[in-house]
Amino acid sequence: MLSAQTRVETEKAGRYLKALCNHFSRKVTAAYDDQRGTVDFGFAHCEMRVEGQALVIHVQAAAPDLFERVKFVVQDHLERFAAAEGLRVLWIEPGQQTVQASAETRYCNALALALGLDPAGYAGIFDTLFLLEMPLPWARAILLESEKLPWELLQLVQMVLALPEDERPSIQPLFIAPDEAYSRPGYRRCIAFTRPAGLVAAYHRQEYLVPEAEVGPLIWALQQAPDTLGQFDAYRVQAEGVRDLLVCTHGSRDVACAKFGYPLYRALRDELASDAVRVWRGSHFGGHVFAPTLLDMPRGDYWAFVGPEQAQQIVGRTGDVGRLRQHFRGCAALPYGFAQALEREIWMQVGWRWHTYARQGRVTAIAEGPTPTWAEVQMDYQAPDGTTRGTYRGRVAIKQHVETIASTGDTQPHVYPQYVVTHLEEIE
């Protein structure tokens, strides 16, 4: 018989024991009280007990594949239930006395900070962003939770994936946790942010608060049948001028996002939210190596390693922009990499008024080869009133690389090119 045990330190040990046993009891045999629980999966057996401020879990199975299966099932559910705490399960098997400190037990963002990883150029890009309310807990890969998602959304995902990679529309679905101040029982908020053509100051917003049964048809109409959107007019929400700040707290995807992201979310929600600024717990949007990471919509700006001081500046758009240099990843409306790095350098010169400008960036020349080492970028811009407009041209080079794990628990490093602006000029 194969066996393994884990000990998870938490003040909520009893709560998690009951949550696990109650959940499993819907499909298999489970018995539990405040201190102990047993679950008979049929193919494996699980025992749990509370020891002070710790939850101890022991699993057994007869075959290696079933052994791995029961470990995964228990671990996945516990880490989802405890995502806000950022708890992580590490199994110890007989003969293994301790878990050695390694990349598996170190947070990816802490390693990145120690190595001086520069986040410039690492903002995910999209033409359309769908934000959809979905109750917690979230699985590691939410799009695989078909029982929780509208059929129409799953169909759209399959349609996009079936296209050749160079023909796929740039669509990003993200999920936000319901909020007692923003949400309405029986309804789901759905926000579609669409990139306008040409110069971009902000993404175009279409926001709805619809009955749960209408979420799928609405998503389909937004993407595939816009001429039918009139049937949803009664659910349309006017939110022009509102900023939506998404903090990644998706702990089942990477524990760093729960451990570091949730405290940032809580601070922003409690201290900086207002009628003009909504703060949401968001699902994974890339870059947990930069946790706590933040997405500011409708501008489309991504931020890295955000602490209380940086949060104040980002929300207020005030203070010395130089203090945020190592926190700006880039904007989703600009090409990944070189162009995003150039925009940061322009922002350093222009200051906060740059964040009111519409702009468009494009690479005009690039080094040959599969991994270009430099590029020339042109950035056109225009002020909101149209009186100020112009063009920047610059050269961006890759001067070095940083090797570090991209996710907590990785054993192999990822190579991150580091972008440096070597020339920048404003032209007529």
Torsions phi, psi for 144 (to 5 deg): -90, -5
Joined tokens for residue 263 = 């405290």
Compare 106 and 19 and report the one with higher pLDDT.
Answer: 19
Burial class (CB in 10 A: 0-12, 13-18, 19+), 333: buried
Is residue 154 left, alpha or beta, with left meaning phi > 0 and alpha meaning psi from -120 to 50? alpha
Coil vs helix vs strand at 95: coil
Burial class (CB in 10 A: 0-12, 13-18, 19+), 213: exposed
pLDDT at position 146, please? 64
pLDDT at position 140, please? 86
At residue 96, does pLDDT exceed 80? no
d(CA 211, CA 188): 6
Closest to 41 measured CA to CA, from 62, 18, 17, 19: 62
Which CATH number is associated with domain 2-99? 3.30.310.50
Domain chopping of the chain, boundaries: 2-99, 128-427
Joined tokens for residue 68 = 């791995």
pTM: 0.76
How would DSSP label each residue in 3-32? EEEEEEE-TTHHHHHHHHHHHHTTTSEEEE
Lowest-confidence pick of 70-84, 108-122, 336-350: 70-84
Cα torsion 332, 338, 344, 349: sign: negative
Q: How many angstroms separate the Cα of 266 from the Cα of each of 52, 73, 84, 288, 292?
A: 27, 29, 10, 18, 12
At residue 100, does pLDDT exceed 60? no
The three-point CA angle 98-102-105 to 5° equals 80
pLDDT at position 66, please? 87
- pLDDT, tens digit (0-9, with 9 covering 90-100), for 367-384: 998 889 999 999 999 999
pLDDT at position 105, please? 41
- What secondary structure, in 3-state letters, does 287-332 show? CHHHCCCEEEECCCEEECCCCHHHHHHHHHCCCCHHHHHHHEEEEC
Residues recorded for the chain: 428
Decide if 23 contacts 75 (C-beta within 8 A): no
d(CA 284, CA 21): 27
pLDDT at position 289, please? 96
Decide if 213 contacts 238 (C-beta within 8 A): no
Coil vs helix vs strand at 106: coil
Lowest-confidence pick of 163-167, 176-180, 348-352: 163-167
Lowest-confidence pick of 13-22, 88-97, 215-224, 354-363: 88-97
pLDDT at position 95, please? 57
Q: How many angstroms separate the Cα of 317 from the Cα of each of 253, 279, 303, 355, 356?
A: 30, 16, 13, 8, 10
Closest to 265 measured CA to CA, from 395, 410, 419, 83: 83
Compare 98 and 264 and report the one with higher pLDDT.
Answer: 264
Joined tokens for residue 34 = 């405040």
Q: What is the mean pLDDT of residues 408-418?
A: 92
- pLDDT, tens digit (0-9, with 9 covering 90-100), for 43-53: 899 999 998 88
Mean pLDDT of the chain: 91
Lowest-confidence pick of 87-96, 152-161, 354-363: 87-96
